[in-house]
Structure 1
Amino acid sequence: MEIKAERKGKVVRVLINNPNPVIKFNFKADQSEMIPSDIEVTKDTTSHSINVLLPLNTKTHVLGLGEKAFELDRRRTRVTMWNTDSYGYTWYSDPLYVSIPFFILVDSSIKGYFFNSPSKLVFDMGLERYDKIIVKIPEESVEFFVFEGDSVQEVIEHYVELTGKPFELPEWALGYQISRYSYYPQETVEEVVRRHLEEDIPLSAIYLDIDYMEKYRLFTWDKAKFPSPKELIEKLHSLGVKVVTIVDPCVRLDQNYHVFKDGLGNYVENEDGTIYADILWPGLSVFPDFLNSKTREWWRNLVEKWVKENNIDGIWLDMNEPSPLNKKPFNPRAIHRLDDNSQVYHESVHNLYSLFQAMATKPSVDFVLSRAGYSGIQRYAAIWTGDNTTSWSDLTLQLALTLGLSISGVPYVGCDLGGFIGRTTDYLLLYRYFQIALFFPIFRNHKDKGGSDQEIYSIPDYWKEKIKRVIKMRYQFLPYLNALARESSKTGHPIIRPLAYHYFRDENAFKINDQYMVGEYLLYAPQINKEGKRLIYLPEGKWLNWWTDEEYEGKNWIESDHDFPLFLRYNSVVPYGNGLITLNVYGNSGKIELGDGTQILHENGNVKISPGVNKSKFEVMRRPNKG
């Protein structure tokens, strides 16, 4: 095997057998490099695959790998990267919808590893060999990157610098969103929105699932259900509510359908040159070959026309693993034609399909939500965790999934609140979903056709009022969340963070899967059981109970029965409020840049706000509040 390495700053690229990756990330080395001594490369002569081995000692912790239904420390796991329609997944289901072949090793040093291969990689974290990590790549060549850093945050910064900064999330996308498979007809959509607003339930967006289409044909309206969609969307906008429409990657094979005819020459093919077709919602369908720039331009024009003609605010990409129906896999020997006229089998590029679809979609719209993704998806789309099932077990799983994605360079994440699958009969559980997701970047209530109604206005008054309180509380924290989204778009820093992100020298932090940091200033420990009482770990430093102003020394365990156990970190600035913004300052320093670019600086008890900004919009609250 031919192995070379090259370096730029704290990033090393390792090239095995002169790879020519389908997706190329911008990396310009400034010097050659010796192969890192702790990396071993072997070749499996039977399968013609490459194995990369790294040491795993007793103190090594493994973070990252994206959307994996495991504890946040990935030691003693074996996971596969293969975007999969995982309807009804549970703990330890693998693989799921998103493949992020990037992980971080924390021991005496901190290093990240990104294997740029969209094929079926396997990551064995100390199962096959107790003292080794083994990455199995079913290709004859590959490139991978090693990121060095003094912190987890620095490693993620290097990774995002390579794979792309997150897009700028519109502020409305941080609000409360509702969805259903499916809301229709047109009058019902408007009624659902009005009922939320009449019940004083804040609402930022409503999603339209596949039943808005004519026979599930992309970029069409079912005129029986939606006779005047533009009028509907205009009404919803007048109510302050955005509209997001679903778009799947399947074009009905129908010579009377204009999209199909216009797209000829842009579809994935069989080995014999015929168009590859399979079954999805419209019936027999063909699939745009998003790996080709000509196809992406054709798709971009379709999306742009759809968005402009209907004044659509966002696009929701589903089934883009890609996934035919009935659990049937996409043909691994289907052919993609690349820009240089070369051809590749689908099995070699499967995990890239959704990334290139999002790449083709995002230029025409401010917001994209995708079910599937690959490294770099953060540039184009937010991610939700797919078709989860209502259960107490799923409650904690959603914490692990969203935090796992967050620490893997995907900052805009969320889940289907209440669970997509299943009937909502346990309203305490529904309440708990809203509690855990109080600070999730994407905050969306979505339900399957077979599920009961879980619009908040439709549940018993007692629980309706409790969940309304959660939603309204979230809106109070929107100035902080919006500031964190701005930070993410500039740096790649996640909005919600496992404790180990900041406290990577604290062994306790790696074993805690049900608490998270919100930015660097807040620690949240949501209630996750029926009893409503829990044990909370506070890492080193000084902490303030957000609600009572009680102070705690860190590296300490406490119990709480508060509905929203929330703690302010020493030396912080947290903006809060819907209207007048209260700047909560604690300690002697802190700084934050708000969503509109306003700079807030706290130094030695003095709070400075950017020159030229209307200071009357703010008030300062020094914590603890001495009354």
Structure 2
Amino acid sequence: MKPSASEYIEIESFGQGVQFKNPVSDHTVKIYVLGEKLFRVIFVPEEGLQLDKTWLTAPGMEDIPAAGRERLDVSSFAKTAFTVKDNNENFSIETTGLKAVVSKNNGLFSWYEYSRKTQEWTMLAKDRNTQAYNWDRKLGSGIQHYMERSPNEAFYGFGEKTGMLNKKGEKLQMRNLDAMGYDPLKTDPLYKHVPFFMVKNPDHVYGMFYDNTSTCSFDMGKELDQYHGLFRSFQAEGGELDYYFIGGEALSDITKTFSWLTGKTFFGPKWSLGYSGSTMTYTDADNAQEQLQQFLDDCRRYDIPCDSFQLSSGYTSIGDKRYVFNWNKEKFPDPQKLVESFKEAGIRFSANIKPAMLIDHPKYQEAKEKELFLKNKETNEEEIVQFWDEKGAYLDFTNPSTQQWWKSQVTEQLLSIGITSTWNDNNEFEAWHPSVIAHGFGNPLPLSLIRPVQPLLMMKASFEAQSEYHPGERPYVISRSGAPGMQRYAQTWTGDNYTSWESLKYNLRTGLGLSISGIYNIGHDVGGFAGQAPSRELFLRWIQQGIFHPRFTIHSWNEDKSVNVPWMYPDIIESVRFLMKERVRFIPYLYSLLYLASEKYEPLIKPTFFSFENDENTFKDTDSYMLGNDLLVYPVTEEGARSIKCYLPENDAGWYHFYTGEYYSPGSYEEPAPLDQPILFAQAGSVIPRNEGKITFDKMEENRTLHCFPAKKEQESTAVLFEDDGHSTSYKTESGHCKWKITMKSSDKEIQVTTGAEGEFPLPYRTITFAFPVGEKRKIFINDSLAEGPVVTLKEEELC
């Protein structure tokens, strides 16, 4: 006869937590305390873990070994004090901020947060009382975890998802697919696997991350069953039930913790923030090299600044198919000459590379003989799947030999001729047969357990190839597919969107969902990738919002063979040119934000409510978003609109229109929506660095203007301006960077601005200009010197 539950559970302490034998299964349940508000729960089967490594977590790290981290290794986390309390009915493990309570009757969890305000424990979440788990397989196959759901909860995160930001009532899949031309409201899944979400109700917030790389799904209230009450669920086809419970005072705290947990955002070169040209049409053309040369000439002719060009896969073609690492010398008779001509103009190439080889690829047999492909365990042969153009086989990046071969090909075919960067594309690894296995670094694994790991390892190999070829330089890698941790290596985008006003509107939300899920360096295909060419108005509106995203790329494969380029409509080129140059002017601000994302885990773009959680109005559906903590962007997403309603959130100091300098109190306003200028507001108290030097295609003059927007009342605020050479790893040294701290104090009578700098990097400019709103009448002091007007220029020696 089985012992009673209270006799059955025996709590055993270990270094960073406790464990017990689950009373209703053969699992050992381990509870780790990894921070004051960061716990982890993993159910370890008696026969051992299906997957004893993880590639998703890298707490505070820039990188992890290619073979992954030991799943049960928590040595990278700081030790946190905790208390265990035990009674007849349950036991609890708690820190000063978070508590897990486990029922001895059934092993179910309840989660509590300690409120400093009320000095009481408040319940955050709990397992559902009926069939919370699927250990007896009565709910079917796979991992299942059911928790109670409250009607007033909202759910955010989940990575790259279409539709609204709040996923209440939705069912969401994590299954990487090549979803070209997706519906921006309905299509699911897309390209990325991000099993993380946050919960908000009127009283508290928390987050959960399931470290599971199997195909999985979340049901956030779409399904109802009267036998179980209101619930939400996580289901996975395989792997472990291994989850992190993240507490915090605000949603922004949870995102930053999750970003830290999965690894540092790579600090890319400054040029990666510039306009990147791209189109499938040029490289598909028979005279591709001529057309690319014409793009370069047109940038100069129309005076459009450009920092990089993403070379689509047409350069690899043989006939009408694409063969990774092949150069079509008929289309590109002299690729090195092309690369050099672009480089002389200050434009770097990022070459498209794909992880599958078609069966008639010139190097297919070589790769097969070296056993570089994913295999079918039944036949011990490479798994043949449908890929773009033809059938082929996926390279297996859990094989060290594949990684070395890949790096050698990146080096020989691309880097050696001057190509700077790689664009890792079509890397969803769509091999679906259950018998497909990966090398697993010598421990063969079903691909179904680790599919999202493959794109992570692909981009890591590309990153390493670039680092090794250019030691001391910061690589720039792009990847379409991925999972938590991809921010360690790559910039990304929301894939092959469809040209429509609806895509403009809802791609914004898809990108914000990625950003609040810890993947900060993102953007969209401006103008739309698939479908017809955008109208003049749609194109302008898309550029207006695109210039405020970390990734700014105009890319297309239009059905009518037209090309989305800045000069596609000559009659609006002046408006387009202004917007393209505005992007350049904002790069000092964006670059400082990218630095803070890497060092402080701060998102570059985020929903408006992330900065104003106390203002319930900001949780209403809106097109607006924050760029950093200080700029509020209002995209125009409705055709024909020449004014829109803008809500300026409640804050202590008010707002300024960035371009007019007009002051606004918080509230709702009807604002003009011109076609040639974005709608942009700055928080009072903010300091926004810009480059206001002369900007042309051929030359960019470096200077810095600090646009100061002082509060109307007493307030003190700070801003950071980060400067370095923009490309090397020397920014980590004292001599390789300069970090300006600008402090602004305001009262009803005067404004005081002081500056100080850390680091010894020699600045590329010798003066800084301070610009205040034109109507500012208060006395202005800069480093204790009285300014003579609203625009003041100081020499470098006057700044410290």
TM-score with structure 2 setting the length: 0.74
CA shift for structure 1 position 487: 1.0
List gaps (5 residues or longer) in structure 2. Answer: 1-24, 59-73, 85-92, 94-99, 103-108, 111-124, 467-474, 694-701, 711-715, 725-737, 746-751, 777-789, 791-800
Tell me which moved more, 403-412 or 420-429. Answer: 420-429
CA shift for structure 1 position 427: 1.1
Tell me which moved more, 314-323 or 239-248. Answer: 314-323
Secondary structure at the counterpart of residue 540 of structure 2: helix
% identity of equivalent residues: 26
Q: Is the 8 A contact 1:152 1:502 kept in 2?
A: no
Which residue is 1:319 aligned to? 426
* CA gap 1:496/1:357 in 2 versus in 1, 3 angstroms: same
Q: Distance in 2 between matches of 1:241 and 1:512?
A: 39
Secondary structure at the counterpart of residue 282 of structure 2: coil
Residues 333-366 of structure 1: CA distance to partner in whole angstroms, max 9, x if unpaired? 3111212x33222222222221221122111231
What letter corresponds to residue 359 of structure 1 in structure 2?
Answer: K
Spell out the pairing of 1:72-471 with structure 2 (5 A cutoff).
Answer: 72-90=165-183, 91-107=185-201, 108-129=203-224, 131-139=230-238, 141-184=240-283, 185-215=288-318, 216-254=322-360, 257=363, 260-261=366-367, 264-271=370-377, 272-281=379-388, 283-323=390-430, 330-339=432-441, 341-365=442-466, 366-424=475-533, 426-448=535-557, 450-456=559-565, 458-471=567-580
Q: Is the 8 A contact 1:499 1:512 kept in 2?
A: no
Secondary structure at the counterpart of residue 212 of structure 1: helix
Q: Distance in 2 between matches of 1:209 and 1:140?
A: 36
What letter corresponds to residue 618 of structure 1 in structure 2?
Answer: I
Identify the match of residue 483 of structure 1 among 584, 592, 607.
592
Tell me which moved more, 582-591 or 187-196. Answer: 582-591
Q: Is the 8 A contact 1:182 1:210 kept in 2?
A: no
Identify the match of residue 133 of structure 2 among 32, 35, 42.
42
Which residue is 1:551 aligned to? 663
Q: Distance in 1 between matches of 2:774 and 2:601?
A: 31
Secondary structure at the counterpart of residue 386 of structure 1: coil
What letter corresponds to residue 200 of structure 2 in structure 1?
Answer: V
Secondary structure at the counterpart of residue 187 of structure 2: coil
Q: Is the 8 A contact 1:72 1:513 kept in 2?
A: no
Q: Is the 8 A contact 1:39 1:53 kept in 2?
A: no
Tell me which moved more, 36-45 or 609-618. Answer: 609-618
Which residue is 1:602 aligned to? 743
Residues 536-565 of structure 1: CA distance to partner in whole angstroms, max 9, x if unpaired? 1111111111122222222x1111113321
Higher relative contact order (CA 8 A, sep 6+): 1
Identify the match of residue 53 of structure 1 among 132, 139, 146.
146
Residues 107-136 of structure 1: CA distance to partner in whole angstroms, max 9, x if unpaired? 322211111111121111122247432111
What letter corresponds to residue 606 of structure 1 in structure 2?
Answer: V
Q: Distance in 2 between matches of 1:209 and 1:460?
A: 23
Runs ≥4 in structure 1, deviation > 6 angstroms? none
Q: Distance in 1 between matches of 2:397 and 2:426?
A: 14
Residues 244-281 of structure 1: CA distance to partner in whole angstroms, max 9, x if unpaired? 11001112335852783487222100122111122434
Q: Is the 8 A contact 1:157 1:493 kept in 2?
A: yes
What letter corresponds to residue 232 of structure 2 in structure 1?
Answer: I
Question: Is 1:540 the equivalent of 2:650?
Answer: yes
* CA gap 1:321/1:190 in 2 versus in 1, 3 angstroms: same
Aligned-residue CA RMSD in angstroms?
2.3
What letter corresponds to residue 412 of structure 2 in structure 1?
Answer: K
CA shift for structure 1 position 199: 0.8
Secondary structure at the counterpart of residue 613 of structure 2: coil
Q: Distance in 2 between matches of 1:194 and 1:435?
A: 24
Secondary structure at the counterpart of residue 598 of structure 1: strand
Which residue is 2:749 aligned to? none
Question: Is 1:6 the equivalent of 2:6?
Answer: no
* CA gap 1:512/1:285 in 2 versus in 1, 3 angstroms: same
Which residue is 1:561 aligned to? 672
Residues 489-544 of structure 1: CA distance to partner in whole angstroms, max 9, x if unpaired? 11332111101212223222222341010000100111111222111111111111
Q: Is the 8 A contact 2:527 2:564 kept in 1?
A: no
Structure ID, larger Rg: 2
List gaps (5 residues or longer) in structure 1. Answer: 324-328
Q: Distance in 2 between matches of 1:311 and 1:259?
A: 28
Q: Distance in 2 between matches of 1:257 and 1:100?
A: 34
Residues 296-319 of structure 1: CA distance to partner in whole angstroms, max 9, x if unpaired? 233223223334311111111111
Q: Distance in 2 between matches of 1:261 and 1:407?
A: 39
CA shift for structure 1 position 212: 0.7
Which residue is 1:17 aligned to? 44
* CA gap 1:261/1:289 in 2 versus in 1, 3 angstroms: closer
Q: Distance in 2 between matches of 1:535 and 1:273?
A: 62
What letter corresponds to residue 662 of structure 2 in structure 1?
Answer: E
Q: Is the 8 A contact 1:268 1:286 kept in 2?
A: yes
Q: Distance in 1 between matches of 2:299 and 2:223?
A: 53
What letter corresponds to residue 740 of structure 2 in structure 1?
Answer: Q
Q: Distance in 2 between matches of 1:55 and 1:573?
A: 45
Q: Distance in 2 between matches of 1:609 and 1:235?
A: 41
CA shift for structure 1 position 484: 0.7
Tell me which moved more, 600-609 or 189-198. Answer: 600-609
* CA gap 1:151/1:306 in 2 versus in 1, 3 angstroms: farther
CA shift for structure 1 position 449: 5.3
Q: Is the 8 A contact 2:383 2:436 kept in 1?
A: yes
Q: Is the 8 A contact 1:21 1:116 kept in 2?
A: no
Secondary structure at the counterpart of residue 427 of structure 2: coil
What letter corresponds to residue 625 of structure 2 in structure 1?
Answer: Y
Secondary structure at the counterpart of residue 183 of structure 1: helix
Which residue is 2:721 aligned to? 593
What letter corresponds to residue 42 of structure 1 in structure 2?
Answer: Y
Q: Is the 8 A contact 1:390 1:423 kept in 2?
A: yes
Secondary structure at the counterpart of residue 158 of structure 1: helix
Q: Distance in 1 between matches of 2:361 and 2:561?
A: 39
Q: Is the 8 A contact 1:249 1:287 kept in 2?
A: yes
Q: Distance in 2 between matches of 1:237 and 1:416?
A: 23
* CA gap 1:244/1:256 in 2 versus in 1, 3 angstroms: closer
Q: Is the 8 A contact 1:17 1:140 kept in 2?
A: no
* CA gap 1:460/1:284 in 2 versus in 1, 3 angstroms: closer
Tell me which moved more, 42-51 or 439-448. Answer: 42-51
Which residue is 2:781 aligned to? none
Question: Is 1:580 the equivalent of 2:703?
Answer: yes
Q: Is the 8 A contact 1:50 1:136 kept in 2?
A: yes
Tell me which moved more, 329-338 or 234-243. Answer: 329-338
What letter corresponds to residue 643 of structure 2 in structure 1?
Answer: K
* CA gap 1:343/1:456 in 2 versus in 1, 3 angstroms: closer
Q: Distance in 2 between matches of 1:520 and 1:417?
A: 24
